[in-house]
Amino acid sequence: MDQQYKFSQIEKKWQKYWNEEKIFKTSEDNNKEKYYVLEMFPYPSGKLHMGHVRNYSIGDVIARYLTMRGKNVLHPMGWDAFGLPAENAAIKNDIHPDIWTRKNIKEMREQLKMLGLSYDWDREVATCYPDYYKWMQWIFIQFFNKGLAYKKKNPVNWCPSCQTVLANEQVVDGFCERCHAAVEKKDLEQWYLRITEYADRLLDDLDLLAGWPDKVKTMQRNWIGKSEGAEVEFTIEGFDKTLKVFTTRPDTLFGVTYMVLAPEHPYVNELTREDEKKEIVAEFLERLQHLSDIERTSTTLEKEGIFTGRYAINPMTGKDVPIYIANYVLLDYGTGAIMGVPAHDQRDFEFARKYSLPIIPVVDPKDPNVDLLNLKEAFVAEGEMINSGSFNGISNRDAIKRITEYLEKKGLGTTTVNFRLRDWLISRQRYWGTPIPMLYCETCGWVPEKIENLPVLLPADVEFTGKGESPLTTSKSFIKAQCPQCGGIAHRETDTMDTFLDSSWYFLRYTDAKNIEEAWDKEKSDYWMPVDQYIGGVEHAILHLLYARFFNKFFFDMGYSPCAEPFSNLLTQGMVLKNGAKMSKSKGNVVSPEEIIKKYGADTARLFILFASPPEKELEWSDTGVEGSFRFLSRVYRLVFELKDEIEGASDNFTIESSRDKELNYVLNTAIKKVTEDLGSRFNFNTALSAIMILVNEIYKYKSETVINKALLRCAIKSLILILSPFTPHICEELWHYIGNRGTVYHEEWPLYDEDATVRDETEIAVQINGKVKDRIMLASGLPEADFLAEAMKNDIVKALVDGKNVIKTIPVPDKLINIVIK
């Protein structure tokens, strides 16, 4: 071994060894307890960034540690490889997305390997490879067969100039972000997955996820947005259909003074009978079409409405109330129509003010500060019922129940639950995604491709213009096909799937990644699932994690997953910042992992990232901090290098011979304990590493003693290498071999600590008078409370401090402090 810490040589050497010996290959083993560590797989952009390094370093420490603890660890990696950037590259550089993506995967795989991560590369998947998306298509067909995938016409954002559908995020102030043409709403047929069918279970089962951050669970709860209320039917004057509304406040029914329909509501056309009104309504609709959903639903947008000329009848009061259409009512929530209660809903209040509609309070706050006859804003809190006929005088909370019961008895309404969660629009007019394996036949309608014909391959003969519908429509070979049902002429769906589908089941595919007979073998998913620890960015808190949970529940129902929830524990790692801001090209504060690895080595990069901040917090990049990490590793290297001859041939068993021995043994065992606990339960890598640094400092001190205990020193060095190895594996392998061991530290057992050795003979005790520290004294450790108190009171300093005062109370905390309350 070289006297210098030549990280580059060392890292290459051990990466080669791990690779050639297939050290990280895993298979099912019923004699061992399994542990599945998963990090969110990356999009293969071609360049690794610090966020990846952080994510994968965290996972690697966990995987390596648990392997050393004797667990059978599954730790896979793959590529979320479909997506728009590949298509943009195709348009810009005239390179096929497939070639571009494969090149990026190759480059990124090399970069990941440079980090020395303990992946079983034999399980690698890429969502864009036909052997993966074949099963994506199979899954889609399972959804379709169960009635959970369907095609529906719905208004979407359409840019007339680019001739393409736009995502809401691509619409800026009602205009296309690329060509600035006014975006229109267009009714298009799109594929949806019926995730709303699972809304209740997705909500309820969040309670099973004790190992998830509350923040993420709260975000999912809000996203699913369950609200309980009632559906109420209103009759319309001179109209044969009734108007249904959803409300969470049936107690305010007596306060309804108008009704509002969403502008797209199917009744709108029939309800506006007068020609004059029809014109105004048409003009209003035209104007709204130029607004995106984002603006339509913005609270800053002024409420605007049009009277239809019709009246509904309030079922409680029998009074006429005018029916409006207005921009603040959404078609796809509830029934697309609402009852207006200006006195008790702020939005209705503003609308009523603007159009001079009556405001009738029905809930009395019994608060002198609220003037019910002259409200300045809607009163939304609880109170006592007024102006509500026979319901007057009860609390509005009771009225919710009573009025709903009344409605149900009269056949005017029912209790209902509504979710903000909408069905998942999954079709995309893009090339680089999984083809939706459906065909349209004039006689049979939408028919799935036969399973034996899967995969439906992405055609090669397409043009990338960036315009029009899906590029698949330009393929001559793709569209025309035989109907799988009747054998007649059918045409293929040309839309592809949202890439979020591909990433909703990859964790299951990893359990049996190379299976060509089925998506995965149930026995294998039974063994490995659920994922014990999932690690990734908090930006996936809602979409990815919700979709993955949805898919897993679907498989669970099919018997293809053994668990109701796929990820038992979730760690959301914080962002990597430089100068207080997220690293980004435009800010020019990007630190390239490759350069850091070149300059200091992967071990240093890993060490810095793990040491500088706890994993779920933000991490501020510091060049001098990286140098500090490098210095530490050099120090460890030097330590072992210098001590090699000293500890060579020493016994594996030591006896404590001096107080210095005792102290080193104390620090050693404390360090092992601390690292074991920090890795085992909290993932506080920073404090674990700080314990290791303390150990290194102590060994340095110890080795300069005149008498040294070689066996003890040998044990300390061995343990040091082992407990550091999950963090910085390359240097540890090197040092492990240097002091005469064989094989890999990865297969070594995690060192045990001696609980007795983690206690010193004497402990420093803080002496407090009235809660303020006055002195510190040494007392034998582990004294029972009574002895501890007696010993502490015997001390001269205590006596002096207490002399001449009244001791009111003494509070002894053994091994910590004693507080003497005096007067």
Partner RNA sequence: GCCGGAGUGGCGGAAUUGGCAGACGCACAGGACUUAAAAUCCUGCGAUCCUUACCGAUCGUACCGGUUCGAUCCCGGUCUCCGGCACCA
Q: Which is nearer to RNA, 386 or 693 (CB)?
A: 693
Instruction: Tell which one of 369, 586, 624, 655 touches RNA (CB under 7 A).
Output: 624
Interacting residues of 243 by C-beta distance below 8 A, sequence separation 6+: 233, 234, 235, 236, 259, 261, 267, 312, 323, 337
User: How many residues can be counted in the chain?
Assistant: 823
Stretch that binds RNA, among 34-42, 331-339, 649-657, 742-750 (CB under 7 A): 331-339
Q: Which is nearer to RNA, 121 or 419 (CB)?
A: 419
404 secondary structure, DSSP code: H
Q: Which is nearer to RNA, 332 or 557 (CB)?
A: 332
Instruction: Tell which one of 95, 330, 479, 711 touches RNA (CB under 7 A).
Output: 330
Instruction: Give the residue among 18, 21, 33 at the shortest CA–CA distance from 66.
Output: 33
Residues between 489 and 528 with contacts to RNA, criterion CB under 7 A: none
Q: Does 819 bind RNA (CB under 7 A)?
A: yes
Instruction: Tell which one of 205, 677, 787, 791 touches RNA (CB under 7 A).
Output: 677
Q: Does 387 bind RNA (CB under 7 A)?
A: no
Burial of 196 (0-12, 13-18, 19+ CB in 10 A): middle
Instruction: In the chain, count H helices and then E strands.
Output: 25, 34
Q: Which is nearer to RNA, 317 or 634 (CB)?
A: 634
Q: Nearest approach, Cβ of 692 to RNA (angstroms)?
A: 8
- How far is it, in rounded angstroms, from Cα 797 to Cα 776? 9
Instruction: Tell which one of 27, 161, 163, 298 touches RNA (CB under 7 A).
Output: 298
SS3 state at 534 = strand
Q: Does 429 bind RNA (CB under 7 A)?
A: no
Residues paired with 149 in a beta bridge: 193
Q: Nearest approach, Cβ of 65 to RNA (angstroms)?
A: 16
Stretch that binds RNA, among 490-498, 505-513, 526-534, 672-680 (CB under 7 A): 672-680
Q: Does 328 bind RNA (CB under 7 A)?
A: yes
Interacting residues of 210 by C-beta distance below 8 A, sequence separation 6+: none
Q: Which is nearer to RNA, 104 or 327 (CB)?
A: 327
Q: Does 813 bind RNA (CB under 7 A)?
A: yes
Q: Nearest approach, Cβ of 95 to RNA (angstroms)?
A: 33
Q: Does 618 bind RNA (CB under 7 A)?
A: yes
Considering CB under 7 A, how many residues would be counted as binding RNA? 87
Instruction: Tell which one of 98, 521, 620, 787 touches RNA (CB under 7 A).
Output: 620
Name the one residue in this structure whose structure tokens are 């044990």: 715
Instruction: Give the residue among 252, 251, 196 at the shortest CA–CA distance from 226.
Output: 196
Q: Does 154 bind RNA (CB under 7 A)?
A: no
Q: Does 811 bind RNA (CB under 7 A)?
A: yes
Stretch that binds RNA, among 11-19, 219-227, 447-455, 502-510 (CB under 7 A): 219-227
- Contact, 421 vs 199, CB < 8 A? yes
Cα torsion through 403, 408, 409, 410, rounded to 10: 90
Instruction: Tell which one of 308, 613, 676, 719 touches RNA (CB under 7 A).
Output: 613
Backbone angles phi, psi at 547, to 5 degrees: -65, -45
Instruction: Tell which one of 771, 782, 785, 790 touches RNA (CB under 7 A).
Output: 771
Q: Which is nearer to RNA, 177 or 620 (CB)?
A: 620
Q: Nearest approach, Cβ of 51 to RNA (angstroms)?
A: 15
Instruction: Tell which one of 74, 538, 605, 610 touches RNA (CB under 7 A).
Output: 538
- How far is it, in rounded angstroms, from Cα 401 to Cα 599? 70
Interacting residues of 2 by C-beta distance below 8 A, sequence separation 6+: 9
Q: Which is nearer to RNA, 381 or 451 (CB)?
A: 381
Instruction: Tell which one of 45, 690, 781, 795 touches RNA (CB under 7 A).
Output: 690
Return the amino acid letter for 730: H
Q: Nearest approach, Cβ of 6 to RNA (angstroms)?
A: 14
Interacting residues of 360 by C-beta distance below 8 A, sequence separation 6+: 254, 255, 257, 342, 343, 387
- How far is it, in rounded angstroms, from Cα 410 to Cα 271? 26
Return the amino acid letter for 272: T
Instruction: Tell which one of 305, 490, 768, 792 touches RNA (CB under 7 A).
Output: 768
Return the amino acid letter for 198: Y
Burial of 801 (0-12, 13-18, 19+ CB in 10 A): middle
Q: Does 789 bind RNA (CB under 7 A)?
A: no
- How far is it, in rounded angstroms, from Cα 184 to Cα 288? 9
Integer CA distances (angstroms), 610 to 257, 327, 465, in order: 61, 51, 45
- Contact, 58 vs 685, CB < 8 A? yes
Residues paired with 158 in a beta bridge: 165, 184
Q: Nearest approach, Cβ of 620 to RNA (angstroms)?
A: 5
Stretch that binds RNA, among 148-156, 202-210, 220-228, 546-554 (CB under 7 A): 220-228
Q: Does 412 bind RNA (CB under 7 A)?
A: no
Q: Does 614 bind RNA (CB under 7 A)?
A: yes
Q: Does 687 bind RNA (CB under 7 A)?
A: yes
Q: Nearest approach, Cβ of 336 to RNA (angstroms)?
A: 6
Stretch that binds RNA, among 110-118, 312-320, 370-378, 613-621 (CB under 7 A): 613-621
Q: Which is nearer to RNA, 527 or 608 (CB)?
A: 608
Q: Nearest approach, Cβ of 458 to RNA (angstroms)?
A: 31
238 secondary structure, DSSP code: T
Instruction: Tell which one of 689, 713, 722, 798 touches RNA (CB under 7 A).
Output: 689
User: Which tokens belong to 427?
Assistant: 């079709």
Q: Does 592 bind RNA (CB under 7 A)?
A: no
Return the amino acid letter for 586: S
Q: Does 604 bind RNA (CB under 7 A)?
A: no
Instruction: Tell which one of 29, 99, 200, 225 touches RNA (CB under 7 A).
Output: 225
Residues between 711 and 730 with contacts to RNA, criterion CB under 7 A: none
Interacting residues of 637 by C-beta distance below 8 A, sequence separation 6+: 5, 731, 735
Instruction: Give the residue among 609, 765, 632, 643 at the shortest CA–CA distance from 715.
Output: 643
**Residue 22: Cβ within 10 Å count:** 11
Residues between 176 and 205 with contacts to RNA, criterion CB under 7 A: none
Binding mask 333-372 for RNA (x = CB under 7 A): xx-x-xx-----x-x-------------------------
Q: Does 219 bind RNA (CB under 7 A)?
A: yes
Instruction: Tell which one of 177, 774, 781, 791 touches RNA (CB under 7 A).
Output: 774
Element (H, E) at 74: strand 72-74
Instruction: Tell which one of 111, 297, 485, 758 touches RNA (CB under 7 A).
Output: 297
Interacting residues of 256 by C-beta distance below 8 A, sequence separation 6+: 314, 316, 321, 339, 340, 341
- How far is it, in rounded angstroms, from Cα 761 to Cα 409? 79
- Contact, 138 vs 175, CB < 8 A? no
Q: Does 759 bind RNA (CB under 7 A)?
A: no
Name the one residue in this structure whose structure tokens are 């993506």: 101
Q: Nearest approach, Cβ of 196 to RNA (angstroms)?
A: 11
Residues between 645 and 664 with contacts to RNA, criterion CB under 7 A: none
